Amino acid sequence: MVEDFTAHKIERLAEAAHNVNKAYCEAMGDHSQPAWRNAPEWQKDSARNGVRLHLGNPKSTPRDSHESWLKQKVAAGWVYGAVKDPDAKPPTHPCLVPFEQLSPHLKAKDYIFVAVVKAME
C-alpha cells in the first residue's frame, strides 16, 4: 500500500512539474512540449526520475537536477544538437551541456522543476 502511494505521489509530482515546464516553455515561445497525457514515455520517465532525485535527496539543487538528467540522456544515447529531435539517430538535445553552459532561461527550467517538487511534496 505504501509503495502504491509513493508511486502515485511520484506520478502526480512528475505530471505537475512537467506541465509547469510546458507552460514556462510556452511563455518563452517554445510550443513543442506536449501535455502530460500526450507525452512520450521517455519524457514521463525523465520527469519521474527527477522527482525521485529530489524526494530522495532533499538538499539536491537545480544543478544536481540537470546533471542527473544529463547523465540519463547520455546513457540513453542522446547527443548534443542545436535542436531537440528525439527521432534523430541518435536523438539530439541542445541542453546536453554542463549546467554552467546553460543560458539563464534554460537554467530556470531546473529551478522551476525543483520548486514544484518541493512545494508539492
Taking the C-alpha atoms of residue 64 and residue 105, their distance in angstroms, rounded to an integer, is: 17
Q: What is the pLDDT of residues 46-81, one digit of tens each?
A: 999 999 999 999 999 999 999 999 999 999 999 999
- CA-CA distances (angstroms) from residue 22 to 3, 5, 48, 113? 28, 25, 15, 11
Contact 55, 117 (CB under 8 A): yes
Q: Domain map of the chain by residue range?
A: 2-120
Question: Residue 97 above 60 pLDDT?
Answer: yes
Question: Residue 3 above 80 pLDDT?
Answer: no
Question: Residue 24 above 90 pLDDT?
Answer: yes
- Secondary-structure percent of the chain, ordered helix, strand, coil, rounded to 5: 65, 5, 30
